[in-house]
Structure 1
Amino acid sequence: MSGGGRLKVGRYELGRTLGEGTFAKVKFARNVELGENVAIKIIDKDKILRHEMIGQIKREISTMKLIKHPNVIQMYEVMASKTKIYIVLEFVTGGELFDRIARHGKMKEDEARKYFQQLIDAVDYCHSRGVFHRDLKPENLLLDSSGVLKVSDFGLSALPQQVREDGLLHTTCGTPNYVAPEVINNKGYDGAKADLWSCGVILFVLMAGYLPFEESNLMTLYKKITKADFTLPSWFSSSAKKLIKRILDPNPSTRITIPEVIENEWFRKGYKPASFESSDDTNLDDVHAIFDESGEPENLVVETREERPMIMNAFQLISTSQGLNLSTLFEKEMGIVKRETRFTSKCPANEIIAKIEEAAMPLGFNVKKDKYKMKLHGSKSGRKGHLSIATEVFEVAPSLCMVELRKSGGDTLEFHKFYKNISTGLKDIVWKSGGEAEGTSGS
């Protein structure tokens, strides 16, 4: 990989950012020794120290080491530099299950059942290892190039040590629309039963194409969830309706359990349990070692950086598309924009940056530029705080650039509206072919 501003960590060359949050970002990377593509989660040590999050990060890494299942993202290794922690993860190219629903809408019952079976398999295995995910939703369910489901993001998971004497968990977390009533009520909850509720919401979304509980007012949403106030669509089969009602039972003591779900007639249709070898000799010494400030300097990885304009080569370009299908980079369909979007341009990179800045300023965005990267920060607070957008220009060929706009903070719907508004000001720089603008691919 060639590129400026490129970071190399140990034997890995880092590429484009795949996602980012408050305390971490995930980058595409390549193991230069083996030629393998991976994803690396990069966590800032200072931030987690300031926010007293060492326990949570240790928990996340410990969880990933404990879980080895074909439907769960695999963690390969953990490294640390003086300032950062690097978690090397399996890289999958099929995108999020969320995107599959956003693009194509509701699934046929047989397809939804296939994904639900894989999800239940993974969650059941996690629970058998004493691990509860606590933030299950389509955005945390990835697909590999063969369409196999992979559960990701254990940042909110809980290990047995967090269970109190009453046998219950007490941390309220997760995404409101998918959270079980007992988590909201804050009286302690069974992690396995709360995870199953989220699985039930996911199954509903797969088959309906929309959420069972959705309200703009949070209190109204919580009331609906607490009462399990939802309506099953008419196109659901009667056996699917019965199962979803038993999963979305607001009373955890009468809610169906995962072993009962696995024995359910609707669930078992075409069911093939995952086949894999499980290991019980997981060593967590390296998890503790990366937080040990008295550790030997030679155990730390070395970071090196080269300052040159970023060039996106073939393997990076492939990583931006769904599966290995490059056509999604050049779709003519402008309507689908989720948390990130891209377009191609034949204009010089500095001209593209200037044009985006010019188009964003009247929309009330503050702009911070750093060479071929730019951060746009909304001056007004929206539904989920201020909308923030990370923009980067990559050179794909000497006369062709690819521009990526990615939501790094705020509400996805507001990002969608922002892109629609800014598109008008960018129409002159988007690559045109045959008189039509070629260009966005929603992700």
Structure 2
Amino acid sequence: MNSNGRTRVGKYEVGRTIGEGNFAKVKFARNVETGESVAIKILDKDKVLKHKMIGQIKREISTMKLIKHPNVIQMHEVMASKTKIYIILEFVTGGELFDKILNHGRLKEDEARKYFQQLINAVDYCHSRGVYHRDLKPENLLLDSDGVLKVSDFGLSALSPQVQENGLLYTTCGTPNYVAPEVINDKGYDGSKADLWSCGVILYVLMAGYLPFDDSNLMELYKKISKANFTCPPWFSTSAKKLIKKILDPNVKTRITIAEVMETEWFKKGYEPPSFEKTNISLDDVDTVFDESMVIFFCLITKYRKMSFNLSEDCCFQWQNPGNLVIERKEGRPMLMNAFQLISTSQGLNLSSLFEKHMGVVRRQTRFTSKCPAEEIISKIEEAATPMGFDVMKHNYKMKLQGSKTGRKGHLLVATEVFEVAPSLYMVELRKSKGDTLEFNKFYKNLSTSLKDIVWRTDASNEGAENECPQAKLYE
């Protein structure tokens, strides 16, 4: 542990939250032995058990153990404490491919082809290992600092043992706009051909900048998908149009296969096969993460050590290195964010995105800086959010803002955290945890108006301002 109150999970020093869902949080972390940056996916065991998700989590862990490919997010290890499961993942800094399209619009055909080639490489390898992703979309495709595509989020994936005797899968899942028609029809589907359909939709989106199938009415959307009712824009090359139409063929029997895609002239242009070592992986130890008797045993050992050495809160069993401890300490001050961690909040380590407002882009999180004391920042946010109909839950320098009204996707839930980036300078991050992104943007616009007296401003218009903590330029 160090003086700024960071949490330590085994050999990992845990930092800021970089993603959040209903059952898990993803946090930035650093391996204190090697200095390597990682992402830690933290799952609450009680929630996993309550929602009967043990099978799904085991599949996700098994899948990520099986897939060791340069175009797939790598899982380093898994640990489990009495209350939590920790999945240690490769940390990538280039953001989502989806954000690249939002920021810059459609891609040129050669660039789209490069990403599509990497996507097909990854999906083909997954299928060779008996893994079917089942939720391929640009939001689940990440980019590293070199622009290399990485497939992520195997939470809905299926493994070969789930395939029925007739070779089909039957669980309907995925994101509607990207789902193959046979998945919608609920009569069984071939996982490899369903994944390829999603790849075809992704290729269309990369080159067009919009979806081939879209409708606010879900039934109408399904009709368009079932009939493959779409047209290619005029800027698509003839060979690209031909390939996309072969992939987005509603007839599974005549739909092109991945092997046939890789043999097309359009795909082979500038193609570089991936280079990596294939290893044999055992899944025999996956159940250990959920073995309560082993976890309790190590907790008892840790409890004894606490009595002897006054260690703090939790213990952790790690299947690769049994006996590893997780030591957590309550934060008594805002988390200190050093220069590298500050830069890591910016997509692709491009510092311009820290200080430039991207107009017209729908964001799921936003940040601002303030020179006011952290306690005052928290107090001001609470004062501003309460009249807007939000319930406020505070814990040290973190807040949860829960909307009282039901929106398009349920109640809006906003996670807020204050970070110290320098003496008397704080960064405040607001992130949508649940609800609709457009509603989050509207909420933030109203909130920022109420907070204008605590936000630091760096531009020339600051001169002559009367406020002690004047308004700042916001950065995304």
TM-score range, shorter chain: over 0.9
Q: Equivalents in 1 of 2:434, 2:160: separation in Å? A: 32
The 5-angstrom pairing of residues 40-439 of structure 1 reads: 40-280=40-280, 282-295=281-294, 296-297=297-298, 299=322, 301-309=325-333, 310-433=335-458, 434-435=460-461, 438-439=472-473
Contact map agreement 1:3 1:306 (CA 8 A) in 2: no
Q: Pick which of 388-397 and 298-307 moved more.
A: 298-307
Contact map agreement 2:343 2:349 (CA 8 A) in 1: yes
Contact map agreement 1:201 1:211 (CA 8 A) in 2: yes
User: Secondary structure of 1:358's match?
Assistant: helix
Tell me which amino acid in the other structure corresponds to 1:152. S
Q: Equivalents in 1 of 2:365, 2:18: separation in Å? A: 10
User: Secondary structure of 1:210's match?
Assistant: coil
Contact map agreement 1:337 1:441 (CA 8 A) in 2: no
Q: Pick which of 319-328 and 35-44 moved more.
A: 319-328
Q: Structure 2: any 5+ residue segments left out of the alignment?
A: 302-321, 463-470
Q: Equivalents in 1 of 2:62, 2:454: separation in Å? A: 47
Going from structure 1 to structure 2, the CA distance change for 1:228 and 1:441 (only over 3 Å counts) comes to farther
User: Secondary structure of 2:292's match?
Assistant: coil
Tell me how far 1:359 sits from its aligned partner: 2.7
Instruction: Deviation per CA, 1:242-299: give whole Å up to 9, x if none.
Output: 111111111222111111111111111111111111112x122331111112224163
Q: Equivalents in 2 of 1:87, 1:302: separation in Å? A: 13
Tell me how far 1:431 sits from its aligned partner: 2.1
Q: Equivalents in 2 of 1:363, 1:5: separation in Å? A: 33
User: Secondary structure of 1:323's match?
Assistant: helix
Tell me which amino acid in the other structure corresponds to 1:43. L
Instruction: Deviation per CA, 1:88-123: give whole Å up to 9, x if none.
Output: 111111111111111111111111111111001000
Q: Structure 1: any 5+ residue segments left out of the alignment?
A: none
Q: Report what 2:24 is aligned to.
A: 24
Q: Equivalents in 1 of 2:272, 2:475: separation in Å? A: 34
Instruction: Deviation per CA, 1:2-54: give whole Å up to 9, x if none.
Output: 57563211111111111111221111111111111111111111221222221
Contact map agreement 1:2 1:313 (CA 8 A) in 2: no
User: Secondary structure of 1:77's match?
Assistant: strand
Tell me how far 1:325 sits from its aligned partner: 2.3
Contact map agreement 2:331 2:396 (CA 8 A) in 1: no
Tell me how far 1:386 sits from its aligned partner: 1.3
Q: Pick which of 256-265 and 206-215 moved more.
A: 206-215
User: Secondary structure of 1:241's match?
Assistant: helix
Sequence identity (%): 76
Q: Equivalents in 2 of 1:147, 1:66: separation in Å? A: 24
Question: How many equivalent pairs are there?
Answer: 441
Q: Equivalents in 1 of 2:216, 2:446: separation in Å? A: 23
Instruction: Deviation per CA, 1:287-337: give whole Å up to 9, x if none.
Output: 111111222416353332142221111232122111222332121445434
Q: Pick which of 310-319 and 427-436 moved more.
A: 427-436
Tell me how far 1:409 sits from its aligned partner: 0.5
Tell me how far 1:406 sits from its aligned partner: 0.6
Going from structure 1 to structure 2, the CA distance change for 1:318 and 1:286 (only over 3 Å counts) comes to farther
Going from structure 1 to structure 2, the CA distance change for 1:279 and 1:241 (only over 3 Å counts) comes to same
Contact map agreement 1:26 1:40 (CA 8 A) in 2: yes
Q: Equivalents in 2 of 1:97, 1:347: separation in Å? A: 36
User: Secondary structure of 2:428's match?
Assistant: strand
Tell me how far 1:344 sits from its aligned partner: 1.6
Q: Equivalents in 2 of 1:396, 1:242: separation in Å? A: 52
Contact map agreement 2:362 2:438 (CA 8 A) in 1: no
Q: Equivalents in 1 of 2:475, 2:236: separation in Å? A: 31
Q: Superposition RMSD on alpha carbons, in Å?
A: 1.8
Tell me how far 1:439 sits from its aligned partner: 4.1
Going from structure 1 to structure 2, the CA distance change for 1:321 and 1:430 (only over 3 Å counts) comes to same
Q: Equivalents in 2 of 1:268, 1:440: separation in Å? A: 44
Contact map agreement 1:336 1:441 (CA 8 A) in 2: no
Tell me which amino acid in the other structure corresponds to 2:414. I
User: Secondary structure of 2:7's match?
Assistant: strand
Q: Equivalents in 2 of 1:46, 1:25: separation in Å? A: 14
Q: Equivalents in 2 of 1:119, 1:96: separation in Å? A: 13
Q: Equivalents in 2 of 1:343, 1:94: separation in Å? A: 21
Contact map agreement 2:141 2:152 (CA 8 A) in 1: yes
Instruction: Deviation per CA, 1:153-196: give whole Å up to 9, x if none.
Output: 11110001111122111111111111111111111111111111
Tell me which amino acid in the other structure corresponds to 1:428. D
Q: Equivalents in 2 of 1:92, 1:426: separation in Å? A: 32
Going from structure 1 to structure 2, the CA distance change for 1:204 and 1:2 (only over 3 Å counts) comes to farther
Larger Rg: 2
TM-score in terms of structure 1 length: 0.95
Q: Equivalents in 1 of 2:176, 2:253: separation in Å? A: 21
Tell me how far 1:426 sits from its aligned partner: 2.5
TM-score in terms of structure 2 length: 0.89
Contact map agreement 1:342 1:439 (CA 8 A) in 2: no
